[in-house]
């Protein structure tokens, strides 16, 4: 059994297979949706599967991403249950902090979904379903990536609620994976909207 120890107190049990399955799921999800979305943008892969209906194709991807997210959360909680708790994460202030993180995280996620709509949230830009104007209201006046940071806060809150250092480690992975995803998504999305603006200006000149 391989364990990470400090002062003879086990913090993370690396022999648990569920830990690695959870880590793989965390890394897989953004990789999947970015890969599929780019294939859609360049080759209309999903739109063709739905007989040219980009709206339905986008909703299908949204349902897939949402389902994968639920499964990832299930694997995360299962991994936590199989990990040792730590006295370091058991002070009285930890539960209120954990609940605050979960509540605030979900507020960021749900409010951003409300502001963007389903297609705006689930990569509609890659399907040619573009928003008229950038959303600058809450929660986008707090952070440019409320879905990602809200999700990270919920992961951390859950890890603290369970009192599992392994959950904190997996939360660090969540944050790093989202940062990598943003490094690809933000420039690509900006390029999509820049292309639209260029086409709009070209259209005005020909009128």
Tell me the per-residue pLDDT of 94-139, one tens digit each, with 9 for 90 and over. Answer: 999 999 999 999 999 999 999 999 999 999 999 999 998 889 999 9
Q: How is the chain split among helix, strand and coil, in percent rounded to 5?
A: 75, 5, 20
* Helix locations, 88-133, DSSP H: 94-121
Gap between the Cα atoms of 201 and 90, Å rounded: 59
Q: Which pair of structure tokens corresponds to residue 64?
A: 């897939």
Gap between the Cα atoms of 182 and 179, Å rounded: 5
CA distances from 32 to 14, 17, 68, 164 (A): 26, 22, 10, 28
Per-residue pLDDT of the chain (207 residues; tens, 9 = 90+): 444 444 445 899 999 999 999 999 999 999 999 999 999 999 999 999 999 999 999 999 999 999 999 999 999 999 999 999 999 999 999 999 999 999 999 999 999 999 999 999 999 999 999 998 889 999 999 999 999 999 999 999 999 999 999 999 999 999 999 999 999 999 999 999 998 888 878 776 555
Gap between the Cα atoms of 186 and 35, Å rounded: 14
| pLDDT of the residue at 174 | 98
| pLDDT of the residue at 7 | 45
What are residue 5's DSSP bridge partners?
10
Contacts of 127 (CB under 8 A, 6+ apart): 40, 41, 46, 47, 54, 55, 57, 58, 119
Query: What are the b/e assignments for 115-139, b being 16+ CB within 10 Å?
Result: bbeebbbbbbbbbebeeeeeeeeeb
Strands (E), 2-139: 3-6, 9-13
| pLDDT of the residue at 200 | 79
Of 22, 4, 8, the C-alpha closest to 81 is 22
Gap between the Cα atoms of 31 and 10, Å rounded: 32
Nearest 10 degrees: Cα torsion 100, 78, 148, 96? 10
């Amino acid at each position: 059994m391989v364990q990470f120890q400090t002062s003879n107190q086990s913090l993370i049990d690396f022999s648990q297979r569920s830990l690695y399955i959870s880590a793989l799921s965390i890394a897989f999800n953004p990789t999947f949706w970015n890969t599929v979305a780019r294939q859609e943008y360049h080759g209309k892969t999903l739109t063709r599967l739905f007989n040219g209906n980009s709206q339905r194709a986008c909703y299908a991807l949204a349902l897939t991403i949402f389902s994968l997210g639920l499964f990832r959360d299930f694997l995360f909680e299962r991994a936590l249950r199989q990990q040792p708790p730590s006295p370091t994460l058991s002070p009285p202030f930890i539960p209120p902090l954990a609940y605050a993180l979960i509540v605030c995280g979900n507020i960021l996620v749900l409010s951003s979904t409300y502001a963007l709509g389903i297609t705006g949230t689930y990569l509609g830009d890659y399907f040619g379903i573009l928003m008229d104007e950038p959303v600058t209201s809450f929660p986008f006046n707090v952070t440019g990536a409320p879905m990602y940071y809200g999700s990270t806060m919920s992961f951390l809150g859950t890890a603290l609620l369970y009192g599992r250092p392994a959950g904190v480690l997996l939360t660090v992975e969540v944050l790093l994976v989202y940062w990598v995803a943003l490094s690809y998504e933000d420039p690509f999305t900006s390029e999509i909207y820049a292309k639209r603006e260029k086409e709009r200006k070209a259209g005005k000149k020909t009128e």
